[in-house]
Amino acid sequence: MARGCDAIRGMDIWTRTLVEEGAFVDEQAKLAGVWTFLGLTSDLKEDDAWITGQIGGRAVFVQRFGGTLRGFENVCAHRGFPLRLGGKGRGAVICGFHLWRYNADGRVVGVPIAQEAFGCSAEELHAGLAELEVACCGGLVFGRFAHQAPAGPLSGGLEAFLGDAFPMLETICQFSDAPAVRTYGRIVEANWKLMINITLDDSHLPAIHGRKRFSRRDEFDYWRFGAHSAHTEGQQETQAAMLADCVAGVYQPVRYKLFNLFPNVAIGLLRLGPYWYVLLQHFEPVGPAETKWRAHYFRTPWRAGAEPLLAPQSPRTTDRIVAWLFERVARRVNEEDHIACERQQTNARNIPPPIALLSAHEERIGWFYETWRMSQPGEDGSPRL
């Protein structure tokens, strides 16, 4: 047993986070101050609506209070009971264990029999919840523990953190004119970074997805936005051109794109039939070898031309048919990726940092690794002994 522990301690920190609980927990704690995707504003339209998530290994929730979104750690200040159970819902912030009630500032304002139990009023207890900083980009909701924000490029507000990606995603991820967001997902028995990396990898397509050939490097382009990146089909549309169109409010999709936002989300813009869709993949770390994965997809307001076979149908019927086809294809591709990641996880102890033999089709994996290293202050990259 001792020899096995020594072998783990001798691994590079990247590999240790794939297999060792302590290294994984430390990694996640260092990500608590990084802007992290939590959910969609489409689930927070009504007053008192809430969603739950994870930041830095800590359970959190975001709730609408009138015209404001506020976020807190999902832990009652009394005895640590989770205030929110499930993925989303609606209601006042009342603990289900002892009925403590909290206001929009996260302060306790109601405690049953407070005078008898504590000898003072609820307000005099001065108890409250740990608060998140919450911000939105279009319909995307992000949060962080601001007091733990790292120095350097990963600091600053959400708009500065996303850089040029902010106006692009603000344009793409709107829900005002779109049908309902559809969601599916599962627990994947693989580390979250392996799952992120496969979305950054354009050389696995023939082996994992049955593509007939490898894409030539001149058939796609990579864009970098500080800690984030994007893949785009073709090289005709430049990053600067898309940015300018989005800022001017005249953007119209032309080719497939996939945005990867550090640390935990991938957002694809793709066409099926007469519509353009957004497919958002959310990777929530649970353990060294476990990730809660969810996919949200919705039709954008942009049309991509008529579809002769569907033209006789009503718009609502067409939308249902195309959405069904979209999810069927997406689920298959997603599952092929998940199985590949789960197989890779079985060999996790032998996986080195992804920097040595990256091809031109895997350049974005190197960018992700650079950002991940930046998010782990105090790690010099040498094996721990």
Residue 174 has pLDDT above 50, yes or no: yes
Q: Are residues 84 and 131 in the same domain?
A: yes
Domain boundary among 107, 140, 156: 156
Q: Are residues 47 and 126 in the same domain?
A: yes
pLDDT of residue 385: 25
Beta strands in the chain, from DSSP E residues, in sequence order? 36-40, 49-55, 58-65, 68-73, 88-90, 93-94, 101-102, 108-110, 131-137, 140-144, 182-188, 220-225, 228-233, 257-261, 265-272, 275-287, 290-303
Q: Are residues 143 and 195 in the same domain?
A: no
Q: Average of pLDDT values for 310-317?
A: 60
Dist CA 279 CA 181 (whole Å): 10
Q: Are residues 120 and 196 in the same domain?
A: no
Residue 310 has pLDDT above 60, yes or no: no
% of residues, the chain, pLDDT over 70: 91
Q: Are residues 226 and 355 in the same domain?
A: yes
Residue holding tokens 């976020």?
71
- Alpha-carbon separation of residue 375 from 8, 28, 156, 247 (angstroms): 22, 10, 14, 30
Q: Are residues 243 and 366 in the same domain?
A: yes
pLDDT of residue 220: 94
Q: Average of pLDDT values for 98-123?
A: 96
Which residues have a Cβ under 8 Å from the Cβ of 65 and sit 6 or more positions away?
47, 48, 104
Q: Are residues 181 and 314 in the same domain?
A: yes
Asked whether residue 383 is domain-assigned, the answer is: no
Integer-rounded Cα Rg, in Å, for the chain is 22
Assigned token pair, 40: 């969609």
Dist CA 53 CA 32 (whole Å): 12
Is-cis flag, bond preceding 112, omega within 30? no
Residue 5 has pLDDT above 70, yes or no: no
Count CB neighbours of 192 within 10 A.
27
pLDDT tens-digit map of 49-102: 999 999 999 999 999 999 999 999 999 999 999 999 999 999 999 999 999 999
Asked whether residue 239 is domain-assigned, the answer is: yes
Asked whether residue 2 is domain-assigned, the answer is: no
Q: Are residues 148 and 168 in the same domain?
A: no
Task: State the CATH number of the domain containing residue 77.
Answer: 2.102.10.10
Q: Are residues 343 and 325 in the same domain?
A: yes
Asked whether residue 310 is domain-assigned, the answer is: yes
pLDDT tens-digit map of 255-292: 999 999 999 999 999 998 888 999 999 999 999 999 99
Strands lying side by side in the sheet with 88-90: 36-40, 140-144, 131-137, 68-73, 58-65, 49-55, 88-90
Domain boundary among 99, 121, 156: 156
pLDDT of residue 323: 84
More confident residue, 215 or 179: 215
- Can you spell out the DSSP letters for 203-236? SSHHHHH--SSPPPGGGEEEEEETTEEEEEESSS
Domain boundary among 117, 135, 156: 156
Q: Average of pLDDT values for 172-201?
A: 91
Residue 6 has pLDDT above 70, yes or no: no
Q: Average of pLDDT values for 206-221?
A: 92
Asked whether residue 9 is domain-assigned, the answer is: no
Q: Are residues 263 and 132 in the same domain?
A: no
Q: Are residues 53 and 129 in the same domain?
A: yes
Task: State the CATH number of the domain containing residue 320.
Answer: 3.90.380.10
Dist CA 306 CA 301 (whole Å): 14
pLDDT of residue 4: 45
Q: Average of pLDDT values for 229-245?
A: 94
Position 2 confidence tier, pLDDT thresholds 50, 70, 90: very low
Count CB neighbours of 238 within 10 A.
12
Asked whether residue 216 is domain-assigned, the answer is: yes
- Our count of domains for the chain comes to 2
- Among 128-132, 137-141, 350-354, the range scoring the smallest mean pLDDT is 350-354
Instruction: Please give the backbone phi and psi of residue 40, each rounded to the nearest 5 degrees, phi first.
Output: -120, 145
Which of 51, 54, 122, 112 is CA-nearest to residue 87?
51
pLDDT of residue 381: 42
- Among 15-19, 35-39, 154-158, 376-380, the range scoring the smallest mean pLDDT is 376-380
Asked whether residue 11 is domain-assigned, the answer is: no
Mean pLDDT score across all residues of the chain: 91
> Which amino acid makes up residue 32?
A
Asked whether residue 345 is domain-assigned, the answer is: yes
Q: Are residues 215 and 243 in the same domain?
A: yes
Give me the half-sphere count of Cα atoms (radius 13 Å) on the Cβ side of residue 126.
0
User: Residue 315's domain spans which residues?
Assistant: 163-374
Position 360 confidence tier, pLDDT thresholds 50, 70, 90: very high
The bridge status of strand 182-188 relative to strand 290-303 is antiparallel
How far the first Cα of the chain sits from its last, in Å, is: 16
